[in-house]
């Protein structure tokens, strides 16, 4: 089924379900009787099935910490090494520098994650929407505000975003907290503005999908936000939590459609936010802490199977009604997988992690739910591999010189020159892994480009018949190269001690 067809079917089921539902949902809404699968996020690869985690480690994988300054602080070291926190968010104060400087900071963070023996590469997140909501500095291709970018059309959105995402991926960023799927329907909105593509879901939905495609082409995971929707309420949750008077029926005909478009496009994550929406939950609970909204609407009714991430638990409006050590527990209980602390006070973040650990130990938050959330987050981190430090280079064990790992097209453009895998058995394993991941991939960009690299290499005399000649031969581009490196054992990336073998490694000693 095409994404457009999946989206149409999803909305039809949603509307049918809404007609029979009461306007107020104090309990978790029942899922519709017809199971609908909407561009599901790919499951954890069979090559990396994460084992069950100790509960403190599982809790840590759900947490994204912030820190002050542009160097790793002792407090952040404690959070990663001792609390096993698996994610970090970067702001302008952390990374308002060159792309190389950002990459160096990420390398240090990733090394800290390795020192902590985290179950997956450290998650590095950033808020790089475009325009005024941009955190990374020079060397990363800038983007205009979404409203201005959307005027150029969906194809231009994808092209521009892919350039920005490529720079972020090269610096080691895993997850971009973008795009904005909110509909700007209230002129008194004080937080979304031109960050939104517009007010019409028929226009916003395709542009959200195009933005997601651009991020994926560049090698970065996407986050559709701010569920269930900002832009319809006056005010700014950074200052005070606003109330959106939208009814369930109006919401499902409006904002739900733009979020459903993002889900149909294969977004990796959806961000929930702090807004009161009595029409979706009759209780006086911020949406991102509401189980009827997070689990009932997003997980069950919209059938989103990926990572649900909170907006910052440091939002001024939220902290005014619930301190972070309480809101982190409420957010986990509501069904969020990834808890965005985003505070420069690492002592407060440490207390918040301890509060969540205690809530799990007491049964206030289900240990099984924590394990499920941790595995969703780990799956995302394994799909978007860590940056190879520095700048994608590693040392050759045979020559001691830097080894550059390139895409299959770059390998072919050099006439097929490069290193070969150690032996034929490894070659066969490599090709099987590449084909399996290609078949599993939910990214249309990988499927549509499948074979381009293989055909180019075959014209140069590499490979036999339909075999995939180089590493990633059936998956074209730098993003595919990054994608598969996360799933291949290190021995598949070893250079050969001789020039024997027909399956060539896509790399070259420099």
pLDDT digits (tens, 9 = 90+) for 115-156: 999 999 999 999 998 878 887 877 888 899 999 999 999 999
Strand, coil or helix: what is 90?
strand
**Is 491 known to be catalytic?**
no
Establish whether 238 is a catalytic residue: yes
Of 238, 345, 372, 423, catalytic:
238
Number of H helices, E strands in the chain: 20, 11
pLDDT greater than 80 at residue 163: yes
Residue 8 pLDDT: 53
pLDDT of residue 138: 75
Do residues 192 and 184 lie in contact, with contact meaning Cβ atoms separated by under 8 Å? yes
Closest by CA position to 230, among listed 181, 264, 197, 194: 181
Three-state DSSP class for residue 221: strand
Query: What residues have CB less than 8 Å from 335, skipping those under 6 apart?
Result: 291, 294, 295, 298, 299, 308, 369
pLDDT band at 450 (very low <50, low <70, confident <90, very high): very low
Which pTM was predicted? 0.70
* Residue 386 binned pLDDT confidence (cut-offs 50, 70, 90): low
Q: Which of 311, 337, 350, 481 is catalytic?
A: 311
**Order of strands across the sheet that contains 175-176:** 175-176, 123-126, 87-90, 63-65, 339-340
Tens-digit pLDDT profile for residues 409-426: 333 333 433 332 233 333
Give me the domains of the chain, ranges plus CATH numbers.
43-383 (3.20.20.300), 394-509 (no CATH)
3-state DSSP assignment of residue 433: helix
């Amino acid at each position: 089924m095409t994404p457009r067809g999946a989206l149409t079917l999803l909305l039809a089921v949603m509307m049918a379900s809404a007609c029979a539902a009461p306007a107020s949902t104090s309990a978790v809404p029942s899922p519709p009787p017809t199971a609908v699968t909407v561009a599901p996020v790919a499951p954890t690869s069979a090559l990396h099935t994460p084992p069950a985690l100790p509960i403190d480690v599982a809790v840590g994988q759900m947490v994204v910490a912030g820190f002050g300054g542009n160097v790793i602080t002792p407090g952040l070291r404690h959070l990663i090494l001792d609390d096993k926190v698996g994610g970090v968010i970067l702001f302008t104060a952390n990374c308002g520098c060159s792309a190389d400087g950002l990459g160096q900071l990420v390398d240090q963070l990733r090394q800290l994650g390795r020192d902590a023996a985290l179950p997956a590469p450290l998650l590095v997140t950033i808020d790089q929407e475009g325009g005024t909501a941009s955190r990374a500095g020079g060397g990363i291709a800038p983007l205009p505000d979404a409203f201005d970018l959307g005027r150029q059309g969906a194809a231009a959105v994808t092209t521009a975003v892919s350039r920005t995402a490529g720079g972020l991926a090269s610096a080691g960023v895993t997850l971009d907290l973008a795009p904005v799927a909110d509909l700007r329907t209230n002129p008194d909105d004080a937080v979304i503005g031109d960050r939104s593509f517009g007010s019409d879901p028929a226009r916003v939905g395709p542009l959200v999908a195009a933005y997601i495609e651009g991020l994926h082409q560049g090698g970065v995971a996407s986050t559709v936000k701010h569920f269930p929707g900002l832009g319809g309420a006056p005010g700014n949750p950074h200052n005070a939590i606003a109330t959106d008077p939208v009814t369930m029926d109006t919401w499902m005909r409006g904002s739900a459609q733009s979020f459903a478009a993002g889900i149909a496009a294969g977004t990796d994550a959806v961000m929930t936010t702090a807004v009161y929406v009595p029409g979706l939950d009759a209780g006086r609970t911020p949406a991102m802490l509401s189980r009827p909204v997070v689990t009932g609407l997003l997980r069950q009714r919209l059938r989103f199977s990926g990572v649900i991430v909170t907006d910052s638990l440091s939002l001024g409006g939220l902290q005014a009604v619930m301190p972070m050590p309480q809101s982190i527990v409420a957010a986990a209980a509501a069904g969020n997988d990834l808890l965005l602390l985003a505070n420069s006070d690492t002592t407060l973040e440490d207390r918040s992690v301890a509060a969540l650990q205690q809530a799990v130990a007491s049964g206030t938050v289900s240990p099984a739910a924590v394990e499920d959330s941790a595995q969703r987050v780990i799956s995302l981190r394994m799909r978007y591999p860590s940056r190879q430090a520095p700048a994608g280079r590693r040392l050759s064990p045979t020559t001691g010189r830097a080894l550059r790992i390139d895409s299959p097209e770059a390998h072919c453009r050099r006439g097929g020159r490069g290193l070969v895998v150690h032996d034929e058995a490894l070659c066969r394993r490599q090709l099987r892994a590449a084909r399996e991941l290609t078949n599993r991939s939910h990214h249309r960009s990988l499927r549509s480009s499948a074979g381009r690299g293989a055909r180019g290499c075959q014209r140069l005399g590499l490979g036999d018949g339909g075999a995939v000649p180089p590493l990633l031969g059936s998956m074209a581009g730098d993003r595919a190269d990054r994608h598969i490196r996360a799933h291949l054992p290190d021995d598949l990336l070893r250079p050969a001690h001789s020039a024997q073998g027909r399956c060539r490694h896509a790399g070259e000693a420099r």
